[in-house]
Amino acid sequence: MGTRRPLVAGNWKMNGSRAESATLLDGVKKGVSSAFRAEVAVCPPFILLPLAAEKLAGSGIAWGGQNLSVHSAGAYTGEVSGPMLKDYGCTYVIVGHSERRAFYSESDTLVAEKFAAAQNAGLIPILCVGETLQEREAGQTEAVVARQLEAVLDKHGIGGFKNAVIAYEPVWAIGTGKTATPQQAQDVHRFIRGRLAARDKAVAENTRILYGGSMKGGNAGELLAQPDIDGGLIGGASLQADEFIAIGRAAG
Ligand code: 13P
């Protein structure tokens, strides 16, 4: 992890009633110690952001969105903009999650536009990259991750990463219970940092690269011990306060 402050962020995806979410937020708030070195954040569905804002204000725990529009306002039925997320106190927004790329046809170009829309609204994008099982087995992991990353770098330059987080999420590890080994993850994280370093060494050194994919309390320690893994983007385990807190604790 080096000197970078770890970030443990929960991606709740499309889960949680208002009552369940209130209980979860209370549990997370109670369990997250100010002694944690890690920064902790939750990304609930849009409709639960006011509740997160109400519960977490002043707690030191941050919150964010899971997606945003490329537009800031206007006739875009069903969309939510960066300025709206900012208005509800969001610090972060996830951009280019593999579920958005796969189920909602988000292209590298669109993801790069969303990355900029987030920063223009004063939000910190958490840019997700990662290969499918088929791509890994075809030896294309680095090529795919490089393509996803360079789409943003080419559009916004390395300066865009002065205030951004990257999440490496191998698609085959998401929601499958099949975690990347610490070495598999470290190899890709080092590769990503190398791509940033080719443009600017200081930015590469300061950028947090999170791992995501079946991370839980029991496997977080060995993943987070890797030199280029700076935290986690947690799906399933972020819906259980105890598991999520255990990951935060493992991050130091
Ligand atoms: P799981 O932790 O459920 O595998 O999900 C990871 C993820 O997609 C976080 O964005």
Q: Where are the domains of the chain?
A: 19-72+86-250
Under the banding of pLDDT at 50, 70 and 90, the label for residue 2 is low
pLDDT of residue 34: 78
Report residue 244's pLDDT band, with 50, 70 and 90 as the boundaries: very high
Q: How far is the CA of 237 from the centre of ligand 1 (A)?
A: 8
- pLDDT tens for residues 170-197? 999 999 989 999 999 999 999 999 999 9
Q: What residues does ligand 1 touch, defined as CB less than 6 Å away?
A: 11, 97, 169, 174-175, 212-215, 233-237
| Backbone φ/ψ region at 225: left (φ over 0), alpha (ψ -120 to 50), beta | alpha
Ligand 1 centroid–CA 11 distance in Å is 7
pTM of model > 0.75: yes
Alpha carbon of 75 to ligand 1 centroid (Å)? 32
Confidence at 135, pLDDT banded by 50, 70, 90: very high
CATH assignment of 19-72+86-250, among 3.30.420.40, 3.20.20.70, 3.60.150.10, 3.30.450.270? 3.20.20.70
Q: What is the mean pLDDT of residues 149-162?
A: 96
Q: Catalytic: which of 106, 131, 169, 243?
A: 169
pLDDT value at residue 33 = 78
Contact 220, 246 (CB under 8 A): yes
Atom from ligand 1 closest to the CA of residue 94: 10
Nearest CA to ligand 1 atom 1: 235
Nearest ligand 1 atom to the CA of 99 is 8
Q: Is the pLDDT assigned to residue 138 strictly greater than 70?
A: yes
In angstroms, what is the span from residue 74 Cα to ligand 1's centroid? 32
* pLDDT given for residue 3 in this prediction: 81
User: 74-80: which pairs have CB atoms within 8 A and are 24 or more residues apart?
Assistant: 80/46
Choosing from 39, 97, 106, 131, the catalytic residue is 97
- Tens digits of per-residue pLDDT, 24-73? 999 999 999 777 899 999 999 999 999 999 999 999 999 999 999 999 99
Determine the residue of 97, 133, 174 to mutate for testing ligand 1's pocket, defined as the one with the most ligand atoms within 8 A of the Cβ atom. 174
On the question of pLDDT at 107 being above 80, the answer is yes
User: Ligand 1 mean position to 214 CA, how many Å?
Assistant: 6
Q: Which atom of ligand 1 is nearest to the CA of 213?
A: 4
Exposed, middle or buried by CB within 10 Å (0-12, 13-18, 19+), for 111?
buried
> Which two structure tokens, joined as six digits, stand for 133?
């099982």
Q: Is 97 a catalytic residue?
A: yes
Strand partners, 182: none
**Once rounded to an integer, what is the mean pLDDT over residues 2-17?**
94
- H or E segment and range at residue 54: helix 49-56
